Amino acid sequence: MDKIKVGIIGAGGYGGCGAIEQLINHPHAEIRALIDKQDTGKPVSELYPHLTGFCDLPLMAPDDPNCPDDFQVVFFSTPDGVGQKIAPSWLDKGIKVVDYSGDFRFNDIDTYKGYANRIERHQDHASPHLLGRSVYGLAELHRKEISSTSLVGNPGCFAVSCILGLSPAVKEKLISYKSIICDAKTGVSGAGKTPNPAFHYPARYESMNAYKISGHQHVYEIERELGVLAGQDIKITFTPHVVPLCRGILTTIYAQLCEGQDIGKVEEAYRSFYKNDMFVRVFGPEKPQASVNVRGSNFCNISLNVDERTGTLIIVSLVDNLVKGQAGSAVQNMNIMFGLEETEGLMHPGIYP
């Protein structure tokens, strides 16, 4: 088959770099152009020397008349508010769009406004007419819808970890829905490439902190997806933390087990739920997991434990925030949108140590 022609907008950031890393070895995709407002004219390998010889395309300005536009899919590796303004022009040309931000994660304007208020974005959505046709891009739950859409809103990185960690327990009614607590820890790369005093090395080294306590924007998509599985509204307690790592998310999830459930039934339910999902790996109490086990990969590792003394299910869900939590999911969605095997270009282990 002919290769899928891909354009990456916001290619100079970590999310754009991650997409390049996944696509350069993709057998059915070709990167046609790298677009950004910064560092234009420079080869991307000048910004990221590890790409030398693999991708040396220059970064091109959005209004560069020489920029190709014969894409079949465009990745928006851009902040909130960008894709909703520009995506319509690409969609009108018949080009598919995968947006990394929260612009298209929600199908109605009221839910989007709740999310936007959490990130202190007070402008109205620039393309509300597109919300009804967008699909939430967590492939493990929505691959059928993704296969027939032209617009995907990539999930948030914390949301990937929490939703995949909880979906079987919620769907199979293994837990009390009122008892869910998600304690999430992320590496510094989740804040993006733009320098910030709070992420300066001396401020970050040997330091960790909770932030956006009871107010993180990813809660909206987590509760929405779990509510769909449960058939009722679900509210969770979610607290994110920044820890002195470059990349990775480890979410420890606590919930009260329903009467009659035990670790054997929990493991059986999780393995059955994810039996057709190549990128979710389920482990029992005998195999505890670490963030390094998924670093650089598109896998989500889920470790299951039960505290029999308190009747608490303890789920540890781990992803690489820049791959399964971002660029890897985007490529996985692209594969589904074009009828390819979901694993194309992504089936490789992480890097160790």
Tens digit of each residue's pLDDT (9 = 90 or more) over 289-331: 999 999 999 999 999 999 999 999 999 999 999 999 999 999 9
β partners of residue 186: 242, 249
- Catalytic member of 17, 55, 67, 157: 157
Q: Find the mean pLDDT for residues 330-341.
A: 98
Percent of the chain with pLDDT over 90: 92
Could you tell me how many residues make up the chain?
A: 353
Q: What secondary structure, in 3-state letters, does the chain show?
A: CCCEEEEEECCCCHHHHHHHHHHCCCCCEEEEEEECCCCCCCEHHHHCHHHCCCCCCEEECCCCCCCCCCCCEEEECCCCCCHHHHHHHHHCCCCEEEECCHHHCCCCHHHHHHHHHHCCCCCCCCCHHHHHHCEECCHHHHHHHHCCCCEEECCCHHHHHHHHHHHHHHHCCCECHHHCEEEEEECHHHHCCCCCHHHCHHHHCCCCEECCCCCCCHHHHHHHHHHHHHCCCCCCEEEEEECCCCCCEEEEEEEEECCCCCHHHHHHHHHHHCCCCCCEEEECCCCCCCHHHCCCCCCEEEEEEEECCCCEEEEEEEECCCHHHHHHHHHHHHHHHCCCCCCCCCCCCCCCC
Q: Are 223 and 236 in contact (CB under 8 A)?
A: yes
**pLDDT for residue 200 is more than 90:** no
**More confident of the two residues 122 and 304:** 304
> Does the pLDDT at position 1 exceed 80?
no
β-pairing, 312-319 vs 151-153, is unpaired
Which tokens hold the place of 248?
């990775």
| Residue with more model confidence, 50 or 198 | 50
Task: For residue 351, report the phi and psi dihedrals to the nearest 5 degrees.
Answer: -110, 140
Per-residue pLDDT tens over the stretch 32-58: 999 999 999 999 999 999 999 999 999
**What integer pLDDT is reported at residue 198 of this predicted model?**
84
Residue 134 has pLDDT above 90, yes or no: yes
Q: Quick check: is 157 catalytic?
A: yes
Say what the pLDDT of residue 201 is: 85
Sheet bearing 280-283, strands edge to edge: 209-210, 237-242, 181-186, 249-256, 312-319, 300-307, 280-283
User: Is residue 193 very low, low, confident or very high in pLDDT (cuts 50, 70, 90)?
Assistant: confident
The ranges of the chain annotated as CATH 3.30.360.10 are: 158-321
pTM: 0.96
Q: Which CATH number fits domain 4-155+324-337: 3.20.20.140, 3.30.450.20, 3.40.50.720, 3.30.1700.10?
A: 3.40.50.720
- Categorize the per-residue pLDDT at 223 as very low, low, confident or very high, splitting at 50, 70 and 90: very high
**281: which residues sit within 8 A by CB, 6+ positions away?**
299, 300, 301, 302
Q: What's the average model confidence in pLDDT over 59-85?
A: 96
The larger pLDDT score, comparing residue 191 to residue 297, is at 297
Measuring CA to CA, which residue among 4, 300, 338, 14 is closest to residue 159?
Answer: 300
Start and end residues for every CATH 3.40.50.720 domain found in the chain: 4-155+324-337
CB neighbours of residue 240 within 10 Å = 23
**Predicted pLDDT of residue 173:** 98
Banded model confidence at residue 254, pLDDT cuts 50, 70, 90: very high
CATH for 158-321? Answer: 3.30.360.10
